[in-house]
Amino acid sequence: MKIGLTTTVPVEAVFAAGHTPVDINNIFISDADPMGLVEEAELAGYPRNVCGWIKGLYTTVLRSTDIRTIIAVTQGDCSNTHALMETWQVKGIEIIPFAFPYDRDYDMLQLQMDKLVKALGTTWGELKAWKTKLDKLRGLAWELDRLTWQENKATGFENHLWQVSCSDFNGEPHTFGCQLESLITELKTRQPLAEGLRLGFIGVPPIFPDIYDYLESMGARVVFNEVQRQFTLPFRVEDIVEQYRLYTYPYNVFGRIEDIKQEIERRRLDGIIHYTQSFCFRQIEDIIIRQQLGVPILSLEGDNPSGLDARSKMRIEAFVEMLK
Amino acid sequence: MSVGCGIDLGSRSVKLAVLDNNKIIELKKFDTIQFYRDFGRRVEGQLVIDWAGLGVVEADYVVSTGYGRNALDLAGAKIMPEIKAHVVGAVYQTGLKNFTLLDLGGQDSKIVKVVEGRAADFLTNDKCAASSGRYLENMAHVLGMSLGELGRYWQDPVELNSTCAVFGESEIIGKIVDGNPMPNLAAGVNYTIFKRIQPMLRKLMSPVLVFTGGVAHNRALREIICAASAVELVIPEHPQFNGAIGCAVSGAKG
């Protein structure tokens, strides 16, 4: 059966149990009318000043006919998820909670993974076997990422899309692997893209993915997608618990900052776009990010999936102009 | 020498600046709606302006900025980003190279740190335009006074706390009913604008603050800023035309 995910979780457990993981975020944002999904959640009573992703996720699941069980991340993503889970629960959706320990404690994480393994009725042996399989696919995503920043061959959007898809491998790991492999083959023969401004995109994936093409139309390209890259668990470690412990996104901001600093240097970034959702607690973390990164930063807010708005365009344009 | 025209397509008004040999020879302001209705025409997706109707000297080049430029492609004009236009305008008007620029317009609040004549960092309002000129217009209307009159009061402000500018209207009506004197209410309105820009201002502060946009005409806000921070406040001669002037100046540079 299909099992929905509210964000990246140890997805090996879902495959190991013989189920198909579905990252609901990806279903929501690739819907023909994502704004309609947000509006429907508002009609149900979701406040206007709540993250658009939460609202989109709510309706996406209720409209779906085959997602009846969801692994919801209760710690390490966002507290709005709690109420999201509860409003699903009253509609008859089964919820399996998963918590990334804030302090990155190994034992606590292992315990959470153990509970997940048991809830899904699989074993650690199966889990580890799937880790080996999925790491091969993640390796392809790492290669795509390398081709993006080191050889200038992939666009910011391609980099975003394939890495963000590593939360569930589109539910079809074999097909995912074949498609990504053929893309990589094609990229290797591609002429390098024009060398312009090199930007980093940090924060949650954007609710307006058209931002990548917009930036490229102005001679600036995203060669680092922070959280999307984290979704590929870019750490060569044997231990699966350690792999999810090194994953920066669900823990405190300082681990993220360390990772971002390394990538700024390695990828020779000219500037950073710090993206947050309007009304998100991560807007507060912008204070620390601005203090600690030491490169020009544009703090950008996105609300609804209605495309890049005129105001954001004005701000992006000014930022690019400033860096040139 | 060449004559250049800069156009700032703002949300409340359209500003034109004509420069001849880098000297301002004409400044004109139109209500935005009126401007598009009476002097603009859409031809093949482009906005064509009736220059003769506007009564403006025909220019050798036209550069535009402002809200409108993302939606409208002005025929025959080069476009430039707003922040840059404002920085160029402020450098031209003040002769300064290092300062913080505060531009408060119809819908926008922009704060730009300018170093050696170039934008080094900037912040703008987002999602909410309660820190803009439009808010002052609405509040002046509620209080039954002109914008000029509203801008005369800064002492003993009445505290106003609504997040929403529209709810702010009913809040101030409540304060009127409570018997607060008009000058204190007007001071409260002006102080509200300051409170909303203060966090951005603090992040990008310099010893010199150049204040532009229509709201720079509000004396009360100038007094409040000076009282709250030890800055040298500079108001250029034409604060509201700053963006249009910046366009015309940068067009002259090619």
How far is the C-alpha of A211 from the C-alpha of A217, rounded, in Å?
Answer: 10
pLDDT at residue B77, as a whole number? 84
Mean pLDDT across chain B: 91
pLDDT at residue B163, as a whole number? 78
Nearest to B71 among A310, A315, A322 (CB): A310
pLDDT at residue B168, as a whole number? 86
CB contact under 8 A, A322 and B122: yes
The answer to whether A247 and A156 have CB atoms below 8 angstroms apart is no
Report residue B72's pLDDT band, with 50, 70 and 90 as the boundaries. Answer: low
* Residue B71 scores a pLDDT above 60: no
> What is the average pLDDT across B161-174?
86
* Residue B8 scores a pLDDT above 60: yes
Least confident of A66-80, A185-199, B34-48, B88-102: B34-48
Token pair for B57: 């000297």
Tens-place pLDDT, residues A12-51: 999 999 999 999 999 999 999 999 999 999 999 999 999 9
Beta bridge partners of A300: A275
Q: How far is B80 from chain A (nearest CA, A)?
A: 9
Burial class (CB in 10 A: 0-12, 13-18, 19+), B71: exposed
Q: How far is A178 from chain B (nearest CA, A)?
A: 41
How far is the C-alpha of B98 from the C-alpha of B87, rounded, in Å?
Answer: 11
Chain A interface disruption, residue of B83, B110, B111, most A CBs within 10 A: B83
Concatenate the DSSP letters of all residues of A141-190 into one string.
HHHHHHHHHTS--S-HHHHHHHHHGGGTGGG-HHHHHHHHHHHHHHHHHS
- Tokens 């402020």 found at: B90
pLDDT at residue B1, as a whole number? 57
Provide the whole-model pTM: 0.88
CB contact under 8 A, B82 and A296: no
Residues of B whose CB is below 8 A from A319 = 122
Tens-place pLDDT, residues A182-223: 999 999 999 999 989 999 999 999 999 999 999 999 999 999
How far is the C-alpha of A69 from the C-alpha of A5, rounded, in Å?
Answer: 9
- Nearest to B203, CA basis, from B100, B116, B62: B100
Burial class (CB in 10 A: 0-12, 13-18, 19+), B118: middle
pLDDT at residue B2, as a whole number? 84
How far is the C-alpha of B3 from the C-alpha of B20, rounded, in Å?
Answer: 5
DSSP B230: -
Tens-place pLDDT, residues A166-193: 999 999 999 999 999 999 999 999 999 9
Least confident of A102-111, A141-150, B38-47, B222-231: B38-47
Counting DSSP H helices and E strands in chain A, the numbers are 15, 8
User: Of 3.30.420.40, 3.40.50.300, 3.40.50.720, 3.40.1390.10, which CATH number belongs to B3-83+242-252?
Assistant: 3.30.420.40
Compute CA B168 distance to the chain's CA centroid, rounded to the nearest angstrom.
22
Tens-place pLDDT, residues A123-176: 999 999 999 999 999 999 999 999 999 999 999 999 999 999 999 999 999 999
> What is the average pLDDT across A270-299?
95
Q: Which residue of A has its CA nearest to B117?
A: A322
3 state DSSP class of A82:
helix
* Residue B68 scores a pLDDT above 70: no
> What is the average pLDDT across A289-303?
94
pLDDT at residue B46, as a whole number? 81
* Residue B73 scores a pLDDT above 80: no
How far is the C-alpha of A90 from the C-alpha of A258, rounded, in Å?
Answer: 41
pLDDT at residue B69, as a whole number? 62
Residues of A whose CB is below 8 A from B126 = 278, 301, 311, 315
pLDDT at residue A151, as a whole number? 97
| Beta strands at B99-104 and B73-74: parallel, antiparallel or unpaired | unpaired
CB contact under 8 A, A301 and B119: no
Q: How far is B64 from chain A (nearest CA, A)?
A: 13
Nearest to B121 among A296, A301, A303 (CB): A296
Q: How far is A314 from chain B (nearest CA, A)?
A: 7
Report CA-CA distances (Å) from B13 to B65, B66, B213. Answer: 12, 10, 11
pLDDT at residue B247, as a whole number? 96
pLDDT at residue B70, as a whole number? 58
Report residue A1's pLDDT band, with 50, 70 and 90 as the boundaries. Answer: very high
Residues of A whose CB is below 8 A from B122 = 318-319, 322
> What is the average pLDDT across B137-143?
94
Report residue A302's pLDDT band, with 50, 70 and 90 as the boundaries. Answer: very high
Tens-place pLDDT, residues B50-62: 888 888 878 889 9
